[in-house]
Amino acid sequence: MTAGTTVRHFPMRIGGHDVDTGEVLEIRDPQNDELVATAASGGASAIDAAVDAGRAAFDDGSWSRATREHRASVLRAIADRLGERLDEMVELEIMANGATVRQATGFHVGYCAPHLEYFAGLAERYEFETPMPRATFPVLGQSTLRKEPIGVVGAIAPWNFPLLLSLWKFAPALAVGNSVVLKPDEKTPLSALEFARIAEECGLPPGVFNVVPGPGPDAGARLASHPGVGKIGFTGSTDVGREIMRLASGTVKSVTLELGGKSPALVLDDADLDVAVDGVLYGCMLYSGQVCESMTRLLLPDSLHDEFVERMVARASTIRLGDTRDWETDMGPVVSRKQKDRILELIASGKDEGATAVLGGGEARVEGHENGHWIQPTIFTGVRNDMRIAREEIFGPVLSVIRYGSEAEGIALANDTQYGLASSVWSADNSRALDVAEKIQAGSVWINDAHQINCEVPFGGYKQSGVGRELGPRALDPYVEEKNVHLDLSGTREARPYDVLLSHADD
C-alpha cells in the first residue's frame, strides 16, 4: 500500500449488525507482508451471540418457512450481485491470500456465482415432501417423508479459497432454510464478511447468515461444540478435522469434513507427454500448490522418467513469479511466513533424506516484494514413497517424482497414502485409463486433466481425506433432517393392533 492509504476495517456480522470487539485481526498481503486491512476478531462469546441470532431468525420463519422459489430467487440475486462486484471481491481475496488475479478471477471468486446459481436450482427442484408407498400391515396407513432444515448450521472455512469453500457449505444450508454461522480463517475473512452484507442487500433476512472471524481454538472450537448448532461443515487439515469431529461428538451433531490430500499423478507409459507435462505442473503448482487436491506426487514409469523430468523442468522454469495483481504473473506467494517456513523445513527434509532438487528448492526473491512469502517452484527426483515430502501434505509448490516399474506397482504407490482426496491418470488409451481409475482409492480421479471441480458432481475424499461429500445433485441432503409423518387410514379402534397390549381393557 502507498503511504497515507487508509486501512479499511471489517466488523463481524451478527444478526444483521456490524459488531466489533476489543480484538482485531491484522490482514497482511502475502506478497509484501504489508498491513492491508483489519477485521474484528471474535471468540466463544461472539459465536454464542451469532448462534442465538441464527436461532431467532430461524424461529421467526421468514427464511426457514419461505417458499423454495423465494429462497432460490434470493440466492440468484446474490449471485448476480457477485458478478457485478467481481473485481472488488477478487481484490478482497488476493490482498489476503496471495492468489494471482488470474487465478482469483477464474477460480477463487469466478466459481462462486455459478455455484450459487447451481444450489438455487437444486433448491427449486428439491423434494421436501415425498409420499411413500401405502402401508397395509399391521393396519392401513400412509407415510410422508418430509425433509426439514436442521436449524443453525456451523461452517468453518480455510484460507486458500475463502469464499468458494465457505459457499459450498453455507449455500446448500441456506437453500433448504437453515440459518448459518460462518467462521472464516482469521487470515482471510474479508470476502466472507463482504458477502454477508451483499446477501442482506439482496433480501436475505438479518440473522440468517452470520460471520465471526476468530482463532480456531476459541471461535472454531466453540462453534463445533455448541449445543445450539445441529451440523458442522469444515474444510481444513486432517489433524484439525479430527478435533472438529471430537468436539461435534459431544452433542452428536453431524459433520461434513473435507480434509487433507497427497494426491498422485499417475503417468502411464503411453501418455501424451506434451499434455501430461503441462497437466502435471498445472495439477501441482496452481496457486503455489496451496490446493487440497494438488497432485504433489508424480508417479513415472521407468521408461519415461528421464525424458519427462527433463521436459517438465524446462517447462516449470518458465513459471513467472511476480505481483499478484499483474495479469502476466503465473504464481504468487504462499499465504504467510509461518506457511513459508513450514514448506522450507519440508524441502530441507527431502534433501536430508536423499532426494534431489532438480528445480528450485528454496526461497524465491521477487523484485519489489522482498518482504513477501515466496517459494521457488520445486521438483524433487529420487523420492521414495516413505519420505516426508511424499507422505505429508506440504501445501506449497513442491512436486515429488517417484519411479515405478509395472502398472500394478504404480497403482499400489498411488494408493499408499493415508489420504484419498483426488488423483489423475495420464494415458493415450482411454479404456486403459478408465480401468486404472477403478483401482485408485480417491474421491475424484481425473483422466488426462487436473483440478476439474464441477459443481454438478460430488467432491470429497476416501480414507483420512474426509467424511461426506460436497457439491453434486445430493448436496442439499446433509443440511436437512428427515421426518416420517404417518397418517392412520384404518379409521376404527378395532382395526388397530392395540389388543397386542390391551386385550383385557374391556374386561
- Alpha-helical regions (H) of 379-468: 388-391, 407-415, 430-439
Q: What DSSP string runs through 190-234?
A: HHHHHHHHHHHHTTPPTTSEEE----IIIIIHHHHH-TT--EEEE
- Nine-digit cell at 236? 481444513
Q: How far apart are CA 271 and CA 488, in angstroms?
A: 63
Active site residue 84: no
Q: Which helix (H) or strand (E) holds 420?
A: strand 419-420
- Nine-digit cell at 37? 486491512
Q: How far apart are CA 89 and CA 444, in angstroms?
A: 29
Residue type, 341: D
Peptide bond into 138 cis (omega under 30): yes
Beta strands 422-426 and 444-447, pairing class:
parallel
Q: Where are the extended beta strands (E) located within 157-196?
A: 179-183
Residue 99 dihedral angles phi and psi, to the nearest 5°: -65, 150
- Nine-digit cell at 217? 481454538
Contact 208, 237 (CB under 8 A): no
Q: Which of 258, 293, 393, 470 is catalytic?
A: 258
- DSSP letter for 372, please: S
- Nine-digit cell at 277? 507435462
Q: How far apart are CA 71 and CA 237, in angstroms?
A: 32
Q: Is 175 helix (H, G, I), strand (E, B) or coil?
A: helix
Q: How far apart are CA 195 and CA 162, in angstroms?
A: 11
Q: How far apart are CA 54 and CA 14, in angstroms?
A: 8
Q: How far apart are CA 208 and CA 341, in angstroms?
A: 39
Residues 6+ apart with CB under 8 A from 200: 16, 206, 209
Q: How far apart are CA 172 and CA 193, in angstroms?
A: 18
Helix, strand, coil share (%) of the chain residues, nearest 5: 40, 25, 40
Catalytic residue numbers read 258
